[in-house]
Amino acid sequence: MEMIKLEASDLHIKENRPPIFRIQGSLVETDLPELSHQDVISMLNEIMNEQQKDHFFQTKESDFAFSLEDAGRFRTNVFYQRGKISAVLRYVKTHIPSFEELGLPGCLRDIALRRSGIIILSGATGNGKSTTLAAIIDHINNSTNKHIVTIEDPIEFVHKDKKSLINQREIGIDTESFGISLKHVLRQDPDVIMVGEMRDSSSFNAAVSAAETGHLVLTTLHTDTAPQCISRIMEFFPVEQRDEVRMRLAGTIEAVICQRLVPRSSGVGMVPAVEIMLGSPSVRKLIRENQIHRLRDAIETSKDIGMQTFNQALVKLVNSKQISEEKALAMSSNPEALKMNLKGIYLDESNRILG
């Protein structure tokens, strides 16, 4: 399959256009023929079952996953635009990579084996959250005797039982919704619960309740930094409820792992820059006291216990020659600060030099 040969992450399908690939973050046009309406319909007939097609033609959009023998698994979104059908297929390798293969910090091994609490993976779409989450599940599966229940929309990586027992549930096939599945999951005797995405106050409340009763909960959010995760969760709730939410979150948060994929300096592949915020006493205190703006400083000054900001992660990648300084500056949310960081200078929110 051309997509796999080119090591493309995504394939874009649009009527009256040739297929377009995303390769190392950039859209690349092909010299393949334009796709007619019938070409696209034929493709859908190949990859969708009758239930999925009925749902798509009723709602005008659909998320699902499918597998091709000797190729792999594809997470797919089909939608209408200007009355015509388009689709995006994301390639999901059947092999679940290890932390080492992904270039992830070694401290994630210990984080993944926490007995209870909430671990949040965050980052923009296309930055490898699903792959990192799969690596965490696989590490638990290889290391411990646990019952792991996943709730996904759709299932991407398929896990096989190793030391652990894994039950994977797909929205629309195995359960009607995240809300319904979360309502019943505690009756399924889980040790670890993976929720594909935290979307609203009800999913947060269910996740916290599970963590408060001794379960490890893994989930994802779409935010650019670890501190933004805390702010995003607060936005799920009306103002009058936020003090209680902060108390519950401070009591259960174990880690927020936020990542961005950066092109390697070799020109082949991507490497993750990972921001790590742990549920240390100082971080929990800042969350309880609604001092979210001070979390970055707390992360930056806690390297000794495994925390790091994005800029600190980028500095490591530049110094190890995995990425160029140019790419690091382009990926940083604060390139001016990164320029100083590359010289070993770090400032707090008040522009004072950190020790």
Least confident of 107-116, 178-187, 268-277: 178-187
Q: What percent of the chain has pLDDT over 70?
A: 98
- Longest CA–CA separation in the chain, Å: 64
Q: What one-character DSSP code corresponds to residue 126? A: T
Distances (CA, A) of 170 to 20, 46, 51, 113: 28, 21, 14, 24
Q: Is the pLDDT of residue 223 over 60?
A: yes
Instruction: Report CA Rg, the chain.
Output: 21
Give the per-residue pLDDT at 96. Answer: 94
Domain limits of the chain?
Answer: 2-92, 99-341
Sheet holding 20-23, edge to edge: 26-29, 20-23, 10-14, 84-92, 72-81, 61-68
The C-alpha atoms of residue 224 and residue 220 are separated, in whole angstroms, by 12
Q: Is the pLDDT of residue 329 over 60?
A: yes
Q: Tell me the pTM.
A: 0.86
Confidence of residue 199 (pLDDT cuts 50, 70, 90): confident
Provide the CATH topology of domain 99-341: Rossmann fold (3.40.50)
Q: Is the pLDDT of residue 355 over 60?
A: no
| Better pLDDT: 203 or 281 | 281
The C-alpha atoms of residue 166 and residue 148 are separated, in whole angstroms, by 5
The C-alpha atoms of residue 298 and residue 309 are separated, in whole angstroms, by 10
Confidence of residue 350 (pLDDT cuts 50, 70, 90): low
Choose among 89, 98, 16: nearest CA to 47.
Answer: 89
Choose among 283, 301, 64: nearest CA to 170.
Answer: 64
The C-alpha atoms of residue 143 and residue 151 are separated, in whole angstroms, by 21
Residue type, 333: S
Average pLDDT over residues 274-298: 97
What residues form DSSP beta bridges with 165?
Answer: 147
- Please state, rounded to an integer, the average pLDDT across all residues of the chain: 93
Choose among 73, 77, 84: nearest CA to 36.
Answer: 84
Judge whether 2-92 and 99-341 match in fold.
no
pLDDT digits (tens, 9 = 90+) for 231-252: 999 999 999 999 999 999 999 9
The C-alpha atoms of residue 10 and residue 133 are separated, in whole angstroms, by 19
Decide yes or no: CATH 3.10.20.600 for domain 2-92. Answer: no
